[in-house]
Amino acid sequence: MSTPIFWEELVTTALLGTERRQASWQHAPGDLQPLLEQLTAVSDPAQRLLQAALLTMIYRQAGFVPVAVQEAGGMPKAADRCPADTQPACSAQAGRHLEAMLQGQFREVLPEWLAALSQRGLRVPAAQLAGLLGLAKQHDRIQQWLPHVLGERGRWLAAQNPEWQHLATLDLPSDQTTLNARWELGSQSERVALLRALRHAHPAQARDLLQQTWPTEKADQRSEFLELFADQLSIDDEPWLETILDDRSERVRTIAQRLLAQIPTSRLVGRMIERLRPLLQWTPPEHGRLLGLLGRSPAKLIITLPQGRDTAMQRDGISAKPRTSRYGERAWVFAQMLVLVPPSVWSRLWNAAPNVILQAEISGEWHDMVIEGLFDAARAHADQDWLIALAEYAQHEATPISPAMIIASLPATYADSYALALLRTTTHLAGDSPALTMLRNLPGPWSQQLSEVVLRLITATLQQGQQGQEQRDWHLRAALSEFALRIPPALADHAIRATEYAATWPYWSSSVEQFQRLISFRAEMLAALDISV
Amino acid sequence: MPTTLTPEQVLALAPDPASAKAGRSLATPRSWISSGQHDDAVWGECQGSGKDPYRTQIDLRDLAFRCSCPSRKFPCKHGLGLLLMLAERPASIAAADPPAWVAEWLDSRNKRAAQQAERKAQAAEHAEDPALQQRRAQQQARTASAREAKVAAGLQELGQWLRDQIRQGLALTQQQAPASFERMAARMVDAQAPGLARRLRDAASIPARGGNWQELLLEQLALLELICQGYQRIETLSAAEQADLRSAIGFTLPQEAVLAEPPFHDQWLVLGQQLETQDHLRVARSWLWGSQSQRLALLLDFAAGAQPLERSVVPGTTLAADLCFFPSAAPLRALIHTRHSATPPMPILPEQPIDSLYQHYATWIGQLPWIDQIATALGPVTLARQDDRWLLCDPTGKQLPLHPQFARGWHLLAQTGGAPCWMVVEWDGRMAQPLAAFLGTQFISLATSGSDSVAGGS
C-alpha cells in the first residue's frame, strides 16, 4: 500500500531489465490499482513497466506534501526581523555609485566613498549590503569603515553569516571570558580582527592575550599577530619583544627586530648605538674668524667599519650577506646598524642640527652609504625634523637621495608645498622627468593649488605634440590614472578641460577618457552623498 | 512614457553582465553629446571610439532599441545607458522634438506597423477566396501528411528503443549513454520531431549524474513512452490534447494561428524572467500573472546565435493586454495580441502558502504530464538558511528548499530584513528556482543573468 515501496520496485526492475525481473504489483497503492489493472492488457512487459512508472510518477508528484518545520525537528527558524534603522541611508543615486564599484567599476575609489559616507554618518542601502560584505571579506582595506556604515540592517545581516560576523562590529567584548572564548575559538581572520581592535584600544591587554597562547601558535600565525603590534607600540612591549628575538621562526624574529628598532629606548636600539659610537668619529664645524664666514670649515665624520658580524649582532637581526653588490660584508653590517638607530640620537650626541650632519665631510667612500642610512633611519622612525632636513638636502645637485625618493615620507602639508616649490621651475611633465616621478610618488589627496599646477603642466606636455606627431609617453599615461584619484573632485571640470585636448588622439584617447571618467565619477559620487533622495 | 522603469528593471534587459556594466557607465550626461526625449521616444548621440558619434534611439511604446554602433549585443550598451539615464535622472534629458534621424525611424516603425495590420487584413480577405484557399490547403495537406508519416515512423522507432532500454535494464543504458541518446536524438531530428530530440538530449546526461539517476531516467523514458503512445492514437484525443502532443513532438504553430485564438484580456503582472540556452537558442521565459483572472501565462522569446533577444515585457512591471493562448488542455504559453496603453496599478498579490505550489503543480501535471515548469508567487514567506541552503518558510510552518545554486539569498535577506515577502519561483517538480521577489511594491530581481552577478555572497 505504500508508494515509495512500489516506486522502488519499479525502479529496481527497470535497472535490472524486464528480461531478468518481473515487477511485483503487490505494493501498488490502492488508488492506482484500477488503472494498473487496465495495463494487464499490455503484453510487452517493458512497455507495461514504462506505463506503470508513468502512472506512479504522476501519482507521486501530484500527491507531494511539503514538510512542515515542526516535523523537521523545529529547524530551521526563519531569520528574526531586523530592528529598524535610525541611521539614514545614502541616496538611491549614491547606492548606484556603490553598486557600480561593487561590480568592479572604479573600485579603486571605494575607500574614498566609504570614508565620505562614514564622515556624513550615512549607511549603505540594503540593496548593496550583501555585495559590500562579500567584497570586504576579500579586501582588508575596506573593512575598517564597515562598522560605521552598515547600519542596523547590515549588522543584522552580517550576524547571520559566519563569514561576515567579524566584519560588522569592532565592539570588543566587555568581559574577559567572552574575549578569551572568541580568541581561542575564532577563525584566524576573526582572531586577527579581534586582536587588531584590542591592540588599538587596549595595547597591554592585547599583549597579555597573545602571550597566553603564544607558545601554541604556529609560526605563520605568530608572525601575523605580531605584525599588529606596530599599532600603539611602546616601551611597555619591549621586555616581551626582546624575548622573541630568540624565537624559532626567522620571520617572527625579523618582525620583533623591526618593532624593537622602532622603540627608541629599546635595549636593541641601545646596543646598536653602543656598537656604532666607536665607529663614528665626529668633528664639529669650525667657524672662521672673519665675520664667521670666511675660513669656515664643515663638520667631519670619520667612519670605521666594524670587524664583521658577531653572534650578538646576529641575534639583533644583522645579516652578514650583503643584499646589494655595492657593499662588502663589513660595510653592509655597518649600514644595517645605522638604519636601526633613530637619527635624532646623533643630533643629540653631537649637538648638531640634521642639516649640519648632512653637510659634513664624510670619510672615504662611505658618504652615500651614510646619507642613505640616515634617510632610511629617518623614514623608519618617522623623524619629521630629519625628514624635512633631508628633503631640503635632496634638492641639491648630486646627492644620493632625490625629492622623488623622499616625498612620500614627508608630512602631508609639507610634502604638498615642497612639491609646489619644486614644480615652480618645471615646464612640462615629460616621461622620465624627475618632477613626474616625484608626483607619482606623492600620495593624495593633493591640495587644490598643487593640482592646478599639475593640470597646467599636463596640458603643456600634451600640447607639445600639437604640431605633427602626437606626444607618446607611457609614464604620463600611467600617471594620469593615478592623478585622477588624488586631484580634488571639485576640480573635475578643470581636469577635463586640461586634458580635452588629447581626448581624440589615438594614443591618448583611452587613458584620457579613463582619467576624465574617474575624476568625474568621484565628483558625482560625492555630490550624490549630499542629496537626500 | 508608457511604463516607468526602475534602474533595476532597465539593467535586467541587459543581454549579459558585461553589457549591464558598460551600460551603467554610459548612464551619465557626460557620455552624451546630445540627448532628448518626448512621450514616445528617447534618443541621444554618444561619442564612441569611432569618428562619428553613435546615434541611439529607443521607442518607448514597446521598448524597441536602435543604435548605429557596430555591437551585436542587443540591446547594446548605448541603448541600456540611455534608458538607464532616463530611469535614473529623467531631468537630465531635455524634452524636445525628435531630430530628423529619430523622426524618420519612428515614422518608418509606424508605417511598418500599419502595413502589417493591412497585410493581416488582406490575408483575412484572401482567406475568403475559395479557390486560393483550396489550392493552398491542398499544398499544405501534402506537406503535412509527408511530415506526419515521417514522425510516425520516427516515433515507432523511439518506442522500440524505449522498450529495449527497459528490457535490457537501465544499468546497460547507463553504460551506453550519452552516445545512444545522441544517436536517437539525431534520428528524431531526421524524423522532424525536434521536441523529442531535445528531451532525449536533456536526458542523456542523467546517467552520469549519480544520486537517484535511475529514478530520474525512468521518469523521462516514461514520459517519452506516453508521447509515443499518445501519437499512435492521436485521432481519438480532444483537439486540445492533440495540440499538446504535437507541440511536445515539435510541430510548431504559425503565429497567425495562435493570434487567431480568442484574445484574453487582463491586467498582467510580469512576475519574473529566466534566460536559458537550449540547442544554440537563447530563450527568455517571461511569467505573467493576470490580476483579475489569477491566470498564469508564459511568453517565450527565442534568439539564435548573436541575434538580438527581444524582450518586450519587463519583470516587475504591469501591462494591460489581450493575450492569445496556444491551444492546449492546460493553456499556458501565450502571445501578446494587443497591448493597451494604460499602465495598470501594481496588483495586490494573493496569499499563497507553500502548499499551493504543490497543488498548482498537481493540477498542471494532471493536464499535461510533461510540462517543464510553472512559476508562482508564494507569499507571505520568509527566508531561512539551513546547512548552507536557502529555504522558504510560510506562516503555516511549511518549508520549501530553494535551488542549491541559488546564490542571491544574502542579497534578498539584506533587502527584506527578515520581513515576509512574495517570492516568485519556477518549479519543475523537484527544484524551486527563485526568479524575483516582491517586497511590498518593491520588485527585487533574483534571476541569474543580466546585471546582477556580484561575486562573493550575492
d(CA A239, CA A268): 11
- pLDDT-based confidence at residue A17 (cuts at 50, 70, 90): very high
**Residue from the list A126, A129, A138 with its beta carbon closest to the beta carbon of B456:** A138
CA distances for A180 relative to A203, A213, A228, B405, angstroms: 16, 10, 18, 37
Average pLDDT over residues B187-213: 92
What's chain A's length in residues?
533
d(CA A237, CA A219): 20
Cell numbers that stand for B182 in this block? 545522441
H helices present in B211-340, as ranges:
213-232, 239-249, 255-259
Contacts of B413 in chain A (CB under 8 A): 79, 130, 157, 160
Of A201, A248, A239, A209, nearest in space to A225 by CA: A209
d(CA B204, CA B212): 15
d(CA A447, CA A419): 11
H helices present in B169-206, as ranges:
170-176, 179-190, 194-204
Q: Is the CB of A130 less than 8 angstroms away from the CB of B167?
A: no
- pLDDT-based confidence at residue B124 (cuts at 50, 70, 90): low
Cell numbers that stand for B398 in this block? 511549511
Phi, psi of B96 (to 5 degrees): -155, 170
User: Is pLDDT above 50 for B126?
Assistant: yes
Per-residue pLDDT reduced to its tens digit, B371-380: 999 999 998 9
Average pLDDT over residues A501-520: 86
d(CA B173, CA B206): 11
d(CA B107, CA B117): 15
User: Is pLDDT above 50 for B2?
Assistant: no
Q: What is the mean pLDDT of chain A?
A: 88
- Strand ordering across the sheet containing B432-439: B399-401, B389-393, B374-386, B421-427, B432-439, B442-445
Average pLDDT over residues A138-155: 88
Q: Is the CB of B214 less than 8 angstroms away from the CB of A58?
A: no
Contacts of A104 in chain B (CB under 8 A): 21
First to last CA, chain B: 32
Q: Is the CB of B418 less than 8 angstroms away from the CB of A79?
A: yes
Whole-number pLDDT of residue B136: 81
Whole-number pLDDT of residue B451: 36
The C-alpha R_g of chain A, in whole angstroms, comes to 35
Place of cell 515501496: A5
Cβ proximity of B267 and B344 under 8 Å: yes
Whole-number pLDDT of residue A83: 87
Number of neighbours of residue A71 by Cβ within 10 angstroms: 11
Nearest CA of chain B to the CA of A453: how many Å? 25
d(CA A495, CA A459): 10
Contacts of B159 in chain A (CB under 8 A): 47
User: Is pLDDT above 90 for B454?
Assistant: no
Place of cell 540592517: A153
Whole-number pLDDT of residue A63: 83
Contacts of B160 in chain A (CB under 8 A): none
Q: Is the CB of B214 less than 8 angstroms away from the CB of A517?
A: no
Nearest CA of chain B to the CA of A475: how many Å? 23
| Closest chain B residue by Cα to residue A135 | B456
Cell numbers that stand for A179 in this block? 574575549
Place of cell 623622499: A406
Whole-number pLDDT of residue A352: 93
- pLDDT-based confidence at residue B270 (cuts at 50, 70, 90): very high
Contacts of A157 in chain B (CB under 8 A): 410, 413-414
Q: Is the CB of B25 less than 8 angstroms away from the CB of A63?
A: no
Residues 6+ positions from A383 with CB-CB distance below 8 Å: A342, A343, A344, A377
Average pLDDT over residues A372-390: 93
User: Is pLDDT above 50 for B65?
Assistant: yes
Of A365, A412, A420, nearest in space to A388 by CA: A412
User: Is pLDDT above 70 for A122?
Assistant: yes
| Closest chain A residue by Cα to residue B207 | A15
| H/E run at residue B269 | strand B264-278
Q: Is the CB of A63 less than 8 angstroms away from the CB of B223?
A: no
Contacts of B454 in chain A (CB under 8 A): 102-103, 130-131, 134-135
User: Is pLDDT above 50 for A281?
Assistant: yes
d(CA B351, CA B345): 18
pTM listed for this prediction: 0.79
Average pLDDT over residues B185-201: 94
| Higher pLDDT among residues B120 and B34, named by residue | B34
Residues 6+ positions from A10 with CB-CB distance below 8 Å: A23, A49, A52, A53, A56, B218
Cβ proximity of B301 and B284 under 8 Å: yes
Place of cell 646627492: A399
| Higher pLDDT among residues B381 and B282, named by residue | B381
% of chain A surpassing 70 pLDDT: 93
Average pLDDT over residues A225-253: 94
Whole-number pLDDT of residue A259: 94
Residues 6+ positions from B77 with CB-CB distance below 8 Å: B19, B22, B23, B26, B71
Cis peptide leading into residue B99 (ω within 30°): no
Whole-number pLDDT of residue A467: 53
d(CA A322, CA A324): 5
d(CA B53, CA B30): 14
- pLDDT-based confidence at residue B19 (cuts at 50, 70, 90): confident
The DSSP output letter for B120 is H
Average pLDDT over residues B175-179: 90
Whole-number pLDDT of residue A466: 57
Residues 6+ positions from B75 with CB-CB distance below 8 Å: B13, B14, B15, B19, B65, B67, B83, B308
| Higher pLDDT among residues A165 and A525, named by residue | A525
Contacts of B229 in chain A (CB under 8 A): 51
Contacts of A75 in chain B (CB under 8 A): 386
Range in A201-210, A513-522, B304-313 the model is least confident about: B304-313
User: Is pLDDT above 90 for A76?
Assistant: no
- pLDDT-based confidence at residue A294 (cuts at 50, 70, 90): low
Q: What is the mean pLDDT of chain B?
A: 88
| Closest chain B residue by Cα to residue A153 | B417
Average pLDDT over residues A182-206: 88
Q: Which residues pair with B398 in a beta bridge?
A: A68
Place of cell 547571520: A160
% of chain A surpassing 90 pLDDT: 58
Average pLDDT over residues A237-250: 94
What SS3 class is residue B14? Answer: coil
Q: How many helices (H) and strands (E) does chain B have?
A: 13, 15
Q: Which residues pair with B319 in a beta bridge?
A: B268
Place of cell 558585461: B18
| Higher pLDDT among residues B18 and B442, named by residue | B442
Q: Which residues pair with A294 in a beta bridge?
A: A290
d(CA B315, CA B270): 5
| Closest chain B residue by Cα to residue A103 | B454
| Higher pLDDT among residues B343 and A122, named by residue | A122
Cβ proximity of B314 and B451 under 8 Å: no
Contacts of B223 in chain A (CB under 8 A): 54
Whole-number pLDDT of residue B241: 94
d(CA B159, CA B153): 10
Average pLDDT over residues A233-256: 94
Cβ proximity of A481 and A511 under 8 Å: yes
Contacts of B25 in chain A (CB under 8 A): 100, 105, 517
| Closest chain B residue by Cα to residue A85 | B417
Cβ proximity of B167 and A17 under 8 Å: yes
Cβ proximity of A455 and A495 under 8 Å: yes
User: Is pLDDT above 70 for B366?
Assistant: yes
In one letter, which amino acid is B195? G
Cell numbers that stand for A191 in this block? 582572531
Average pLDDT over residues B438-452: 74
Tell how strand B421-427 and strand B432-439 pair up: antiparallel
- pLDDT-based confidence at residue A288 (cuts at 50, 70, 90): low
User: Is pLDDT above 70 for A74?
Assistant: no
User: Is pLDDT above 80 for A107?
Assistant: yes
Cell numbers that stand for A24 in this block? 511485483
Number of neighbours of residue B396 by Cβ within 10 angstroms: 12
Whole-number pLDDT of residue A68: 65
Whole-number pLDDT of residue A114: 96
| Closest chain A residue by Cα to residue B453 | A103
Cβ proximity of B75 and B42 under 8 Å: no
Q: Strands, DSSP E only, in B31-94? A: 32-37, 41-46, 54-59, 64-67
Residues 6+ positions from B440 with CB-CB distance below 8 Å: none
Q: Is the CB of B7 less than 8 angstroms away from the CB of A96?
A: yes
Range in A508-512, B54-58, B229-233 the model is least confident about: A508-512
Mutate to test the interface with B, among A57, A107, A156, A514 (most CBs of B within 10 A): A57
Of B306, B275, B248, B305, nearest in space to B435 by CA: B275
| Closest chain B residue by Cα to residue A4 | B215
What's chain B's length in residues?
458
Q: Is the CB of A19 less than 8 angstroms away from the CB of B414?
A: no
Tell how strand A361-362 and strand A300-303 pair up: parallel
**Count of CB contacts below 8 A, A vs B?**
202
Q: Is the CB of A102 less than 8 angstroms away from the CB of B454?
A: yes
Tell how strand B334-339 and strand B32-37 pair up: unpaired
When mean pLDDT is compared over A63-72, A170-179, A474-483, the highest value belongs to: A474-483
Whole-number pLDDT of residue A72: 47
Nearest CA of chain A to the CA of B418: how many Å? 5
Of B251, B275, B276, B253, nearest in space to B195 by CA: B251
